[in-house]
Amino acid sequence: MPRTPDPDADGLDTVPPPHPVFHIEQALLGALLLEPRHLDDVTGVAPASFSAAVHAALFAAIRSLPAPDPVEHATTTKWLDQVLAAARDQARGLSALYLQTLIQVCPSARHAPAYARIVEAEHSRRRLAAAAQRLMRTARDTSLPQRVAAILAEAEDLTAVVDDIAARFPPHPGSLPRTPAPSPSPSPVTRHDEEELDEERLLLATSTAHASKVNQMRWLTPGDFTLSLHAGLWQCLTALTRRGTPVDPMTVLWEARHRGLLNTGAKPKELLELLSGTAGSPEHWGERVLQRSVLMTAHHTGQRIEAYTDDPATTPYQLVTGSRRALADLSAVRARWQHATSPTPTNNPTRTRATAAPRAGPPRTTAPPTARNSR
């Protein structure tokens, strides 16, 4: 039995339509092909600003050729032929028909600067999205030897992109994005969940045994912990040490009772066992917990910024404001990380200025006067 051809079998209906900026790029190129003199009015865009490779090749060709004489350009296609020949070096499938299409779809050549501004804005959105994705990808990469250093380097690059967009589109009051911030995803930015929990347990146990170290670890906050129970126990430890109360598993248990931690299902015996198994130093395990917090914060920062860029209703001004707020959280945990890992400064004794020896006076010929006896 012969097979009936399916009109949708070629898959053309599944090809997504071009983004709106694609049509804006066509209008901009059509304006420049129609009236090349408007190229002087177009600023802030480069070949890389275009979303389509053929458009990037055409813009590069237009920019590389001297503008034609307006009278000659109105009567001949000489300059258009030169543009086509130059652009074909990068886009071999480009045809003269497509150039004519670009000219026809352009509503007004005088609006070229407005079209260019839109193209620049969408390019900024793509740049910001790519930087946020690199940040998240680095946060998930467990093969990196220095994960935090790599994360902070990507954060610097992302901040530079935001600053560049802010210079192009300065934010103004009230330019907060309306896109809901996504909740942190359970993306695996660390190795094993059980290993993370063990590190937190060891931190709590060693901090209970060496409570004097807790006050020196103010760079660690309850929000750095994976479990709310562990975060609550850390609050118990910091509260006890701040009040000068003796710290041991029993006093921590009693503080946990007052804070309602036993109402969450935690059993007293289990808490006592958790607080008794020590190994290593509190600083070591604290840095491990904080490192994971840096990775998780970086990943969530990338998620927030990506959500802003994915929302077509978000303006460039809102992208800048929202991205800076997201980066502020990463900057805060970065400052705590640098505080935790910086070497403790040594207090060198202050060098005092040497007292000059008194000058030698003339030799005495009489005995020095004696001090008066106080009455």
pLDDT at 18 (0 to 100): 79
Give the model's pLDDT for residue 185: 59
Q: Please tell me the predicted confidence (pLDDT) of residue 360.
A: 41
Q: Is the pLDDT of residue 164 over 70?
A: yes
Domain co-membership, 158 together with 198: yes
Residues across the chain = 375
SS3 of 88-124? CCCCCCCCHHHHHHHHHHCCCHHHHHHHHHHHHHHHH
Please check whether residues 36 and 157 belong to one and the same domain: no
In this structure, the answer to whether residues 205 and 94 fall within a common structural domain is no
Region label for 169, one of left (φ > 0), alpha (ψ between -120 and 50) or beta (otherwise):
beta
Render pLDDT for 213-222 as a digit per residue (tens, 0 to 9). Answer: 999 999 999 9
**Distance from C-alpha of 199 to C-alpha of 222, rounded to nearest angstrom:** 14
Is residue 327 situated within a structural domain? yes
Q: What percent of the chain has pLDDT over 70?
A: 84
What is the full DSSP assignment across 143-212?
T-SSHHHHHHHHHHHHHHHHHHHHHHS---TT----SPPPPPP----SS-HHHHHHHHHHHHHHHHHTGG
pLDDT of residue 14: 53
Check which CATH number belongs to the domain holding 101 and give it: 1.10.860
In a domain, 287, yes or no: yes
Q: Which two tokens stand for residue 348?
A: 């060198």
The predicted structure's pLDDT at residue 342 = 84
Q: Are residues 30 and 177 in the same domain?
A: no
| pLDDT averaged over every residue in the chain | 86
Residue 9 has pLDDT above 60, yes or no: no
Name which of 165, 167, 170, 159 is nearest 134 in CA terms: 159
Q: What is the domain-level CATH number for residue 139?
A: 1.10.860.10
Task: Answer whether residue 150 shows pLDDT above 60.
Answer: yes
361 found inside a domain = no
Residue 2 inside a domain? The answer is no
Whether residues 59 and 197 share a domain: the answer is: no
Confidence of residue 15 (pLDDT cuts 50, 70, 90): low
CB of 29 within 8 A of CB of 112?
A: no
Residue 224: Cβ within 10 Å count = 23
Domain that holds residue 215: 121-182+192-342
> What pLDDT does 263 receive?
85
State the Cα–Cα distance between residues 375 and 369, nearest whole angstrom: 18
pLDDT digits (tens, 9 = 90+) for 232-286: 999 999 999 999 999 999 999 999 999 998 888 888 999 999 998 778 899 999 9
Give the separation between CA 327 and CA 134, rounded to whole angstroms: 14
Pick from 43, 89, 47, 87: which is nearest to 65 by CA? 87
pLDDT of residue 175: 74
Same domain assignment for residues 240 and 295: yes
Looking at the structure, tell me whether residues 173 and 48 fall in a common domain: no
Q: What is the pLDDT of residues 304-316, one digit of tens each?
A: 999 999 999 999 9
CA 25 to chain centre: 29
Does one domain contain both 162 and 285? yes
Residue 252 lies in a domain: yes
The DSSP-derived string for 343-364 is: PPPP-PPPPPPPPPPPPP-PPP
Whether the predicted pLDDT of 363 surpasses 90: no
User: What is the number of structural domains in the chain?
Assistant: 2
pLDDT at 264: 80
